[in-house]
């Protein structure tokens, strides 16, 4: 039964619902059971772990250098095509570089950008959300005003401009994307903080004289954590997509670093006769992003299925 | 298992229900929300269904109306309104009866009214949907009914939105709305629970007046015995999805037979009877799980007079006279013991 | 309702002001504007001359006020690339972007809303799963890549549609599908959630108790409530479409302001970039304000209060 069905059943049976005395399983055990039977979580988790492993152990998986050009070996199609060969499983690109190798090393870029941007955005957004949600009043107005300003600005255009000015190193890209994606963190963190703030344990802490900082970090933040993780996964997926787009336009990761978006852009010139140059990196992005989204949805289902509709 | 004799009704039967059951499939198993409920109401009669939350009274009502949630399944031997067999009807035909011949009002008038449409709109649409007349006639009837339920400045109210009315007013609107097509059966599910105590009395009074005037059959669902005492001609007591006792209000209040009923009555202080300083009764324990097969009496874990046989097999509903029945194995349940007296010579 | 709208409008003005300041700051970021104007071979005195000529040696806030004042009169400066007035450049191209955004939005709404309603009325049916699948796809697919694939399939292999240019209506079909598919998931999800919530509510149960027909229950009662959040989302999506058009216009060589912005960034033609950023932001602010108005009108709880 999916969680949707579960929810509707719980709602429809509420008037006949009855508490029966039985030993309730511990929350951790419940979560573990849900995790192991949740197809989205399992799929997403597997792909993520696989990608991370591939990225880390890249040199062990391929003997080619992603930067090494060999103009005698240009544009060889993948092994399943007519002129393909096992020497280059996914063929070579316009510069004779092994495509599989570039794909594998490109995974590193995607993961670094994804994690990095999500982390930066997460720190900025969560801090703002906690502060705004906890203190309310003027502070909250300022936070919402900042969010509105951020939302009004066209993120992609600004990112393009900033990268044009500051260059296309991985650091700059991560920083720029991190500065682009914090708004969803704020919205969610703020709303959850507002709900948590009225809980008794917060009031109790205040009564004991705990400082705001301690309450926020000690009482509220742990309870917001699972929401943050879910948002972080979604923003990571967005960051990967945007980086690919920026690199595709030429204002993202600089060549010859193998970003998947860059590979698509480089392949564009040949795409009518060698469509695999475009199809393969795009499919990789697609699969990774789906996996991350499913992982995020799965985490949300596992930690708080009642909140889902 | 003895079946109840054909019920004796002083008036022509409006609603006849025999062996109605509702089951809901869930992750933990099949939930027996309602198990083989019999009930019948005649014109101008008020039947109260009493029981605690979760005993199945609302599910019974929804089952009768045909409003069960998707996951729930209804079975019944007979379900008839004014003699018409509802079980044989398709969904569309049932829908034509709802709002027209049978009406239901719910507990919370705020959430039962659509916030984006005016009161008038929501009242008129019933009239128009059931083809009772023109828009103008609908509006006139709506205004008339609003006045009838005691709302002043009725015409102005038609143009107002639900959030602009107070709780008591909204419930009056709901009642007026349910009368738009002059139904013969009205089911009211806890109509006063969400209201202030002072308003409660007014609403009950209103319902009683309307019922008398229109000679409707009224099924009143409540957990409040005070309301039962005020309003009921006949009473059905439900527990864990089953009917455990039926009778006239007089019978059930003065001579309750089922230990659950007795327990309920013991919980309320009665001025003049309850000894000052004496403890009020309470029923210990919790309602049992409704999942899994029925095994024995559902009340046995909380019953002060339970004995071995109570766990042996499901207890049948024993008829003890026209409109009087009790689902209990106790011998003296068959004899009418006056309330407050300890049963003597209990045979175990 | 007026109080609500005035409150929203004042926030909008404040945000617009901030955006204009940030937009202005963007221009200054690009490094020494005077040096860029003067050219690569200019000597320091020449650069200083240029700076003075363009008023670039005045304090920043004065420069901002000057720029803002001119902007309010429609003077957005001149392009560094071809010296044409920026306002003219934008005016020439905004139609293309507007058309693309509008068509994408319509395409998205026409698909997403009915799917969302259907999915909600038959949860866990194949339609529900299919629409969720579409949502997953729309969210995960890189839109520029999707555009390229569409070009390969429809433009080249099947030769049904043109793949570049912006004079003909059919030029917009592939870009519309590309751009619109990225906003379908959000709209569909919000519609579906809204409908599920509505269908579960007491007033829908009441509507059924009144014997109303299924059509009436679904569309008159449920959808009317579910649509409220979709209105806000539509405005936000339109803003997103305006901003996201950069990528799609570049892939399909559509001559809109997104493409212009991109080219200008490459050419470091920052007056143009800055103006477009501010323009798009303002459009977004106006759109969200409009959606607030529509929302206030549609929801009697806000309209009457």
What's the pLDDT band for C163 if we cut at 50, 70, 90?
Answer: low
Please name the member of C140, C258, C270 whose beta carbon is closest to the beta carbon of A286. C140
C-beta atoms of C148 and A282 within 8 A? yes
φ, ψ of residue A83 to 5 degrees: the values are: -100, 15
Q: What is the pLDDT of residues A205-260, one digit of tens each?
A: 888 877 777 877 877 888 888 888 888 988 999 899 999 999 998 888 888 888 89
Contacts of B291 in chain A (CB under 8 A): 20
Structural Rg of chain C based on CA atoms: 24
Whether C294 has its CB under 8 Å from any CB of chain B: the answer is no
pLDDT of residue A112: 93
Q: Measured in Å, how far apart are chain B's first and last C-alpha atoms?
A: 21
Whether C16 has its CB under 8 Å from any CB of chain A: the answer is yes
Residue B90: pLDDT above 50? Answer: yes
Give the separation between CA B248 and CA C208, rounded to whole angstroms: 32
φ, ψ of residue B276 to 5 degrees: the values are: -60, 130
Max mean pLDDT among A7-11, A198-202, C48-52, C179-183 falls in C179-183
pLDDT of residue B337: 44
CA dihedral A243, A245, A250, A251 (to 10 degrees): -50
For a pLDDT cut of 70, what percent of chain C falls above it?
Answer: 91
Chain-wide mean pLDDT for chain B? Answer: 84
The residue of chain C nearest to residue B180, with distances taken between CA atoms, is C210
Residue B2: pLDDT above 80? Answer: no
What's the pLDDT band for A121 if we cut at 50, 70, 90?
Answer: very high
The residue of chain C nearest to residue A237, with distances taken between CA atoms, is C140
CA distance, residue C180 to nearest chain A CA (Å): 16
pLDDT of residue B272: 65
Chains touching chain A through at least 3 C-beta pairs below 8 angstroms are B, C
Please name the member of B96, B108, B161 whose beta carbon is closest to the beta carbon of C202. B108
Length reported for chain B: 348
The residue of chain B nearest to residue C203, with distances taken between CA atoms, is B112
CA distance, residue A184 to nearest chain C CA (Å): 13
Residue B276: pLDDT above 80? Answer: no
Residue B168: pLDDT above 70? Answer: yes
The residue of chain B nearest to residue A10, with distances taken between CA atoms, is B26
Give the separation between CA A270 and CA A254, rounded to whole angstroms: 20
What's the pLDDT band for A20 if we cut at 50, 70, 90?
Answer: very low
The residue of chain B nearest to residue C123, with distances taken between CA atoms, is B70
Handedness of CA B287, B288, B294, B298 (dihedral sign): negative
C-beta atoms of B24 and A12 within 8 A? yes
Max mean pLDDT among A15-19, B252-256, C239-243, C296-300 falls in B252-256
For tokens 């599920």, what's the residue? C196
Residue B342: pLDDT above 50? Answer: no
CB A48 within 8 A of CB A291: yes
Structural Rg of chain A based on CA atoms: 23
Residue B345: pLDDT above 60? Answer: no
Whether B183 has its CB under 8 Å from any CB of chain C: the answer is no
Strand partners, B319: B325
Q: What is the pLDDT of residues C251-271, one digit of tens each?
A: 888 888 889 989 888 887 888
Max mean pLDDT among A92-96, A166-170, B39-43 falls in B39-43
Please name the member of C19, C142, C193 whose beta carbon is closest to the beta carbon of A152. C19
Residue C110: pLDDT above 70? Answer: yes
Reported ipTM: the value is 0.83
Whether C18 has its CB under 8 Å from any CB of chain A: the answer is yes
Q: What is the pLDDT of residues A190-208, one digit of tens each?
A: 888 888 888 877 788 888 8
- Among B20, B57, B69, which would you mutate to test the A interface (most chain A Cβ atoms within 10 Å of its Cβ)? B69
For a pLDDT cut of 90, what percent of chain B falls above it?
Answer: 31
- Among C121, C196, C206, C295, which would you mutate to test the B interface (most chain B Cβ atoms within 10 Å of its Cβ)? C206
CA dihedral A204, A210, A216, A218 (to 10 degrees): -80
C-beta atoms of B104 and C209 within 8 A? yes
How many other C-beta atoms can be found within 10 angstroms of the C-beta atom of residue B33? 30
pLDDT of residue C213: 86
Alpha helices, H only, C200-256: 202-209, 214-215, 224-252
C-beta atoms of B99 and C210 within 8 A? yes
Q: What is the pLDDT of residues C3-20, one digit of tens each?
A: 888 888 888 888 888 888
Q: What is the pLDDT of residues A75-86, one digit of tens each?
A: 878 877 777 777
Q: What is the pLDDT of residues B128-146, one digit of tens each?
A: 999 888 999 999 999 999 9
Residue B341: pLDDT above 50? Answer: no
- Among A113, A154, A243, A287, which would you mutate to test the C interface (most chain C Cβ atoms within 10 Å of its Cβ)? A154
- Among A157, A163, A262, A266, which would you mutate to test the C interface (most chain C Cβ atoms within 10 Å of its Cβ)? A157
The residue of chain C nearest to residue B95, with distances taken between CA atoms, is C211
For a pLDDT cut of 90, what percent of chain A falls above it?
Answer: 20
For a pLDDT cut of 70, what percent of chain A falls above it?
Answer: 90
Q: What is the pLDDT of residues C188-237, one digit of tens each?
A: 988 988 888 888 888 999 999 998 888 888 888 888 888 888 888 888 88
Q: How far is CA A170 from CA A51, A241, B233, C229, in A?
A: 19, 15, 81, 38
Q: Measured in Å, how far apart are chain A's first and last C-alpha atoms?
A: 14
pLDDT of residue C111: 92
| Arithmetic mean of pLDDT, A288-301 | 88
Contacts of C275 in chain A (CB under 8 A): none
Interacting residues of A41 by C-beta distance below 8 A, sequence separation 6+: A35, A294, A295, A297, A298, A299, A301, A302
The residue of chain A nearest to residue B60, with distances taken between CA atoms, is A16
C-beta atoms of C142 and A271 within 8 A? no
Contacts of B111 in chain A (CB under 8 A): none
CB C278 within 8 A of CB C270: no
Give the separation between CA C276 and CA C94, rounded to whole angstroms: 10
Task: Dump strand ranges (E) for chain B.
Answer: 13-26, 29-42, 46-50, 72-75, 78-81, 84-85, 102-105, 185-189, 217-222, 234-239, 242-248, 318-321, 324-326
pLDDT of residue A57: 87
| Arithmetic mean of pLDDT, B39-44 | 90
Q: What's the DSSP call for residue B248?
A: E
Residue A297: pLDDT above 90? Answer: no
Whether B20 has its CB under 8 Å from any CB of chain A: the answer is no
| Arithmetic mean of pLDDT, C29-54 | 70
Whether B106 has its CB under 8 Å from any CB of chain C: the answer is yes
pLDDT of residue A17: 38
């Amino acid at each position: 039964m999916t969680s949707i069905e579960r929810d509707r059943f719980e709602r429809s049976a509420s008037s006949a619902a009855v508490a029966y005395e039985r030993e309730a399983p511990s929350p951790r055990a419940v979560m573990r059971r849900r995790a192991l039977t949740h197809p989205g979580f399992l799929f997403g988790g597997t792909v993520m772990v696989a990608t991370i492993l591939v990225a880390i152990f890249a040199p062990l998986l391929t003997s080619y250098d992603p930067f090494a050009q060999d103009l005698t070996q240009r544009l060889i199609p993948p092994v399943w095509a007519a002129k393909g060969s096992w020497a280059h499983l996914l063929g070579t690109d316009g510069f004779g570089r092994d495509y599989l190798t570039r794909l594998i090393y490109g995974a590193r870029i995607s993961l670094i950008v994804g994690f990095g941007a999500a982390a930066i955005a997460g720190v900025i957004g969560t801090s703002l959300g906690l502060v705004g949600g906890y203190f309310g009043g003027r502070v909250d107005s300022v936070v919402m005003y900042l969010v509105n300003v951020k939302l009004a600005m066209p993120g992609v255009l600004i990112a393009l401009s900033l990268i044009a000015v500051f260059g296309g190193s991985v650091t700059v890209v991560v920083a720029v994307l991190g500065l682009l994606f914090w708004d969803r963190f704020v919205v969610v963190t703020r709303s959850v903080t507002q709900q948590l703030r009225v809980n008794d344990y917060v009031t109790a802490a205040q009564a004991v004289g705990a400082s705001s900082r301690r309450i926020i970090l000690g009482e509220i933040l742990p309870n917001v954590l699972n929401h943050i993780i879910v948002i972080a996964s979604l923003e990571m997926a967005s960051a990967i997509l945007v980086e690919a787009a920026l690199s595709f336009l030429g204002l993202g990761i600089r060549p010859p670093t193998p970003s998947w978006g860059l590979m698509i852009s480089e392949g564009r010139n040949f795409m009518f006769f060698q469509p695999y140059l475009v199809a393969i990196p795009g499919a990789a992005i697609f699969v990774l992003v789906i996996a991350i989204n499913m992982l995020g949805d799965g985490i949300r289902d596992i930690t708080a299925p009642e909140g889902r509709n | 298992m003895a079946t109840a004799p054909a019920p004796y009704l002083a008036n022509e039967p409006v609603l006849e229900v025999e062996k109605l059951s509702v089951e809901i499939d869930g992750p933990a198993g099949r939930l027996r929300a309602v198990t083989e409920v019999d009930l019948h109401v005649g014109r101008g009669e008020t039947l109260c269904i009493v029981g605690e939350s979760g005993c199945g009274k609302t599910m019974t009502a929804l089952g009768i109306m045909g409003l069960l949630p998707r996951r729930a399944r209804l079975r019944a031997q007979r379900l008839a309104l004014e003699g018409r067999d509802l079980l044989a009807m398709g969904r569309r035909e049932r829908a034509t009866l709802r709002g027209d011949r049978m009406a239901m009002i719910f507990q919370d008038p705020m959430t039962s009214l659509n916030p984006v449409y005016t009161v008038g709109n929501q009242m008129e649409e019933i009239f128009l949907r059931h083809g009772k007349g023109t828009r103008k006639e609908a509006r006139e009837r709506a205004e008339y009914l609003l006045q009838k339920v005691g709302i002043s400045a009725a015409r102005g109210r038609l143009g107002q939105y639900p959030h602009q009315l107070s709780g008591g007013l909204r419930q009056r609107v709901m009642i007026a709305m349910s009368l738009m097509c002059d139904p013969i059966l009205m089911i009211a599910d806890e109509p006063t629970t969400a209201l202030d105590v002072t308003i409660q009395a007014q609403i009950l009074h209103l319902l009683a007046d309307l019922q008398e005037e229109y000679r409707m059959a009224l099924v009143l669902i409540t957990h409040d015995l005070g309301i039962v005492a005020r309003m009921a001609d006949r009473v059905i007591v439900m527990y864990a999805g089953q009917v455990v006792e039926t009778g006239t209000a007089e019978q059930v209040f003065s001579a309750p037979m089922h230990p659950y009923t007795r327990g309920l009555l013991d919980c309320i202080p009665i001025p003049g009877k309850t000894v000052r300083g004496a403890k009020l009764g309470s029923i210990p324990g919790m309602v049992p799980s409704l999942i899994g097969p029925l095994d024995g009496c559902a009340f046995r874990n909380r019953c002060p007079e339970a004995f071995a046989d109570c766990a042996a097999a499901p207890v049948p509903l024993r008829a003890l006279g026209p409109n009087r029945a009790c689902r209990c194995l106790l011998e003296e349940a068959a004899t009418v013991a006056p309330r407050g007296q300890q049963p003597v010579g209990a045979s175990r | 309702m007026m109080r609500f709208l005035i409150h929203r409008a004042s926030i909008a003005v404040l945000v617009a002001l901030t955006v204009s300041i940030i937009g202005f700051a963007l221009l200054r970021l690009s490094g020494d504007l005077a040096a860029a104007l003067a050219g690569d071979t200019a000597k320091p005195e020449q650069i200083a001359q240029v700076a003075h000529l363009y008023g670039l040696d005045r304090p920043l806030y004065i420069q901002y006020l000057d720029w803002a004042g001119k902007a309010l009169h429609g003077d957005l400066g001149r392009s560094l690339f071809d010296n044409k007035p920026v306002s003219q450049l934008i005016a020439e191209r905004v139609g293309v972007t507007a058309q693309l955004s509008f068509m994408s939005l319509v395409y998205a709404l026409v698909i997403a809303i009915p799917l969302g309603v259907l999915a909600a009325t038959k949860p866990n049916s194949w339609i529900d799963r299919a629409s969720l699948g579409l949502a997953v796809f729309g969210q995960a697919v890189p839109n520029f890549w999707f555009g390229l694939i569409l070009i390969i399939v429809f433009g080249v292999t099947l030769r049904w549609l043109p793949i570049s240019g912006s004079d003909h209506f059919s030029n917009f079909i592939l870009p519309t599908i590309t751009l619109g598919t990225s906003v379908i998931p959000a709209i569909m999800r919000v519609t579906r959630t809204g409908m599920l919530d509505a269908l579960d509510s007491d007033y829908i149960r009441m509507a059924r108790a009144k014997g109303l027909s299924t059509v009436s229950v679904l569309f008159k009662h449920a959808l009317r409530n579910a649509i409220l959040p979709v209105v806000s989302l539509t405005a936000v999506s339109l803003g997103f479409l305006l901003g996201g058009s950069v990528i799609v216009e570049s892939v399909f060589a559509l001559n809109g302001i997104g493409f212009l912005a991109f080219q200008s960034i490459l050419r470091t033609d920052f007056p143009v970039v800055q103006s477009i950023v501010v323009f798009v932001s303002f459009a977004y602010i106006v759109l969200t304000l409009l959606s607030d108005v529509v929302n206030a009108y549609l929801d009697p709880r806000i309209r009457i209060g």
